[in-house]
Structures are given as C-alpha cells and as structure tokens.
Amino acid sequence: MKKNRYSETHYTLIDELMASTANPLSEAFRVHQLTSMWQGLRSMETHHDPKPDDWRVVSDAVNLMETLIKSGVAIDESGLLMDAITALAEAGRRSMEGKTLRLSGPGMFAVRSILEDYAECVNALPARTMIRCHRQTEKRMQEILSGKRQPHDVEIG
C-alpha cells in the first residue's frame, strides 16, 4: 500500500502543550514554511513545468488557513477561501489529466489572497495555536483519505 504524507502526524499533543501561548513559531520555521509556500505559488504561476510538490505546499497552506477559519481563529475577510480550494482542486485535476499544473487567473488571485492571510496568521498567532492548527489539519486530511468527507470537500481524483 502506498504511504501518503498524512499517514504519520508531524506534531503530537505534547508538542502542542509545550508550545508557547504567547510567542509565534520560531522565525526559522516561519521563514522556511512561508518561503516554500511562496516559491510553490510562483512556480505554479510562472514556471514552464511546475511540480506536484509546488502544488502540495500551496495546498497545505490553504488547508491550514481553512482550519484557522473554521476554528474561529481567523476570518475569511475576502470570502475567497472556497475559491482558492476549488482553484487548487481544478489545477490538480488538470495535472492528473497530463496537463500543466496551473491556476486560472481568478484562481491565482484567490490562492494568493488566502496565502497572504495565512502569512499574517503564522507571523502573529502563538505557536500553540499554529501547532494545534497543524494537528487538526493533519487529522482532517487523514479523515478525507479514509473516506470520511464533508459536503464542502473538493475531490481531485
């Protein structure tokens, strides 16, 4: 059986409980995560052959932002969360059809807007909140992969 990236969790409950309730995640972590996220988006926007890993890091950030919004920690002020999710799903579908992994113009705008919101959150929210967000997002992805879907979930294949 093929192992997926959500078959093991990255953070434990102990990590969450030990994390700061006042300070954000370490600067090194934030810089690494945000740099990967922005590079993934740039690749999807401009490179001739964006890779699935580019799509994954962007999708992970959008999924994390969805968790923050659904848990009431953040607000989808732009109203573009579902547009960003749909745009990434469409790009994933196109890729599975052998086409280039690209976002549409409106999709690019929606994804960029949500990533900007995520960057603000990861730089401002306490580490414990962000680690809880990671744990909840990983759990949700595991549920989706095991067939436990919610009405708003978007499948790519």
pLDDT score of 9: 65
Distance CA 131, CA 110 (A): 25
> In three state form, how does the secondary structure of 76-105 look?
CCCCCHHHHHHHHHHHHHHHHCCCCCCCCH
- Number of neighbours of residue 148 by Cβ within 10 angstroms: 10
Distance CA 58, CA 10 (A): 17
Please give the average per-residue pLDDT across 22-27, as a whole number: 96
The 3-state DSSP class for residue 73 equals coil
Q: Cα-Cα-Cα-Cα dihedral of 41, 46, 50, 53, to 10°?
A: -20
Domain ranges of the chain: 25-145
Please give the average per-residue pLDDT across 9-30, as a whole number: 89
Q: Cα-Cα-Cα-Cα dihedral of 59, 60, 63, 67, to 10°?
A: -170
- Model confidence pTM above 0.75: yes
- Number of neighbours of residue 119 by Cβ within 10 angstroms: 17
Q: Is the pLDDT of residue 2 over 50?
A: no
Q: What are 16's two structure tokens?
A: 């969450």
| Window from 5-19, 39-53, 101-115, 135-149 with minimum mean pLDDT | 5-19
What are the tens digits of pLDDT across the range 103-151?
Answer: 999 999 999 999 999 999 999 999 999 999 999 999 998 887 777 666 5
Percent of the chain with pLDDT over 70: 88
pLDDT score of 19: 83
